[in-house]
Each structure stands twice: as C-alpha cells, then as structure tokens.
Amino acid sequence: MDWKTALAQMETGELRCANKVDGKWIANTEAKQAILSAFKAGELKEFSEEAFTGFVDKHNLPARKFTPKDNIRLVPGGSSVRAGSYVAAGVIIMPPAYINVGAYVDEGSMVDSHALVGSCAQVGKNVHLSAAVQIGGVLEPIGASPVVIEDNCFVGAGAVIVEGIQVLEGAVIAPGVILSKGTPIYDAVNEKQVTDGIIPAGAVVVPGTRPVSAKLNWAKEMGLSLNCAIIVKYRDEKTDESLKLEEFLR
C-alpha cells in the first residue's frame, strides 16, 4: 500500500496501526511502514496558512482541519492533530494538546490540556485523558505494538503510559502513575505481578514504591525505594460514581 492511500485510510479509521485479533492487540506493520515511507518522501515546508504561519514540517504531514460537520471539538489555544490520525465524532480536544500521525482516538473521548497521544497509539471510546497525560508513540521497531487504551478508561493527570503498555477496558489509572515495560506492576488484589504489560479490565492502578534490590547495599541501608504501580482494587459502584463528574463537563 502506498503512503498516500494509507494516510487517507488512517484518517477515516479504515486502516489502523494496531488491531485486536483473538483478544490480543497486534501491530499493523503495513500501516506503520506506510508512515515511515511518508516521512522519507516528505520534504520540509513552511506552512503559510494563517493558523500555521511560521511552522515547518514535512509537506505531506500537515495539521488536520475540522468543520462542525465532523462533530469534533478542537478548542482554540495551540492544539494540533497531525495528518494520518483518526479522530472520531464526539471527541473533545482541549488546548494545548497533540495527536500524532497514526494515532486513533475513538468517539466520545476527551484529550485534555497538555495531553499527548503519540504516533500509532490506540485510544478507545469514552476515554478520558486528563491534563498532562502522556501516551507514548512507537513507529520503530516496525513490529512493536503501540500503547493501547481501551474503551471507558480513565487516565488521571500527569500519568505516563509508554512502550506498548495495554490498558484494558474500564481501567482507571490514577494521577502520576508511570507505566512502562521497565516499571514493575503489582496486582495487590490477586497477589501477583503483572509481567505482560497488560493492565486488566476494570483495574484501578495507583503509584507505589518497592524496596531496592539487596544487591544495592548502600541504597538499601539508606532506605531508598524504587517506583512501581499497584492495582489496589477493581472498579465498583463507588469508583464509577467518582468518575461521573466528567460527563457534566461536556
């Protein structure tokens, strides 16, 4: 598939950079390769449109524009949605926010101020990405799965989710949580460690600490701890009630 066709299909949602197959998210290498080809084919251009004067980027990856018919709220104030990304009807983008090429943001979701949806990241329906949330992107290696946030998830302010972590449906990520392949994740409810980088559906994850390894004698003597993430509960009626306020803000 040529990169022009691929980018056009990504913007309509027909082509995605990851798909769920038999319950598992798999990277779409053809789509990701098309994006890399677009970068290679692109030439630097100074954009002269009034809203983008002074900006320089690849000529074939300009910022997207929307109309009221799209039913997307792109609030003024410095936000940008790059070519080749999909934004569904009902999405709200608060300034400043950025959605990169290959990203997919499904209907009813909110991308709040200072939030980033990285290249190829997949965000489901009715997801709330709070202020300063960072959803990492991944183009290379070509087979690496991007970050996935499934339907009805809530990601608290300042959370960082990178390196292909998958957050399954309805999970709640508390403010300040960092999720990466190098961050230990402990399920305190089921008394086990999450080792596959997949946050279970409905999990409520908070930031935590853990003792340093016994190999680091000095650090242990000093009482130092390392970052981790802890699943402290699974969603219940009380959790749902605490998240309802968001609906009144739309």
Residue 234 covered by a domain: no
pLDDT at position 197, please?
A: 96
> How big is the chain, counted in residues?
250
Query: What are the C-alpha distances in Å from 209 to residues 47, 177, 184, 226, 236?
Result: 47, 11, 10, 5, 25
Residue 170 covered by a domain: yes
Query: What are the C-alpha distances in Å from 142 to residues 74, 120, 128, 138?
Result: 31, 11, 28, 8
What's the rounded mean pLDDT across residues 175-204?
A: 97
Residue 120 covered by a domain: yes
Separation CA 225–CA 57 (nearest Å): 43
pLDDT at position 119, please?
A: 97
pLDDT at position 27, please?
A: 96
Residue 201 covered by a domain: no
Instruction: For residue 239, give every residue at least 6 positions away whose Cβ sits within 8 Å of its Cβ, in sequence order, or none.
Output: 172, 204, 233
Per-residue pLDDT tens digits for 115-136:
999 999 999 999 999 999 999 9
pLDDT at position 51, please?
A: 66
Angle formed by the axes of helices 29-41 and 3-12, nearest 10°: 120
Confidence of residue 232 (pLDDT cuts 50, 70, 90): very high
What's the CATH code of the domain at 103? 2.160.10.10
pLDDT at position 88, please?
A: 98
pLDDT at position 61, please?
A: 95
> Domain containing 160: what range?
3-184
Per-residue pLDDT tens digits for 38-94:
999 999 999 877 666 778 999 999 999 999 999 999 999 999 999 999 999 999 999
Residue 149 covered by a domain: yes
What's the rounded mean pLDDT across residues 6-27?
A: 96
Separation CA 31–CA 27 (nearest Å): 9
pLDDT at position 241, please?
A: 73
pLDDT at position 45, please?
A: 92
Query: What are the C-alpha distances in Å from 202 to residues 45, 108, 178, 186, 239?
Result: 45, 19, 18, 15, 10
pLDDT at position 179, please?
A: 98
Per-residue pLDDT tens digits for 199-221:
999 999 999 999 998 889 999 88
Residue 222 covered by a domain: no
Confidence of residue 161 (pLDDT cuts 50, 70, 90): very high
Count of Cβ atoms closer than 10 Å to residue 239 Cβ: 15
What's the rounded mean pLDDT across residues 234-240?
A: 83
As a whole-number percent, the residues of the chain with pLDDT over 70 amount to: 96
Residue matched to tokens 């016994």: 214
Check pLDDT > 60 for residue 250.
no
Residue 9 covered by a domain: yes
Check pLDDT > 60 for residue 246.
no
Contact in structure between 205 and 171 (CB atoms under 8 Å): yes
Residue 244 covered by a domain: no
Mean residue pLDDT of the chain comes to 93
Number of structural domains found in the chain: 1
Query: What are the C-alpha distances in Å from 41 to residues 28, 45, 64, 159?
Result: 20, 13, 19, 34
Residue matched to tokens 């000095």: 218
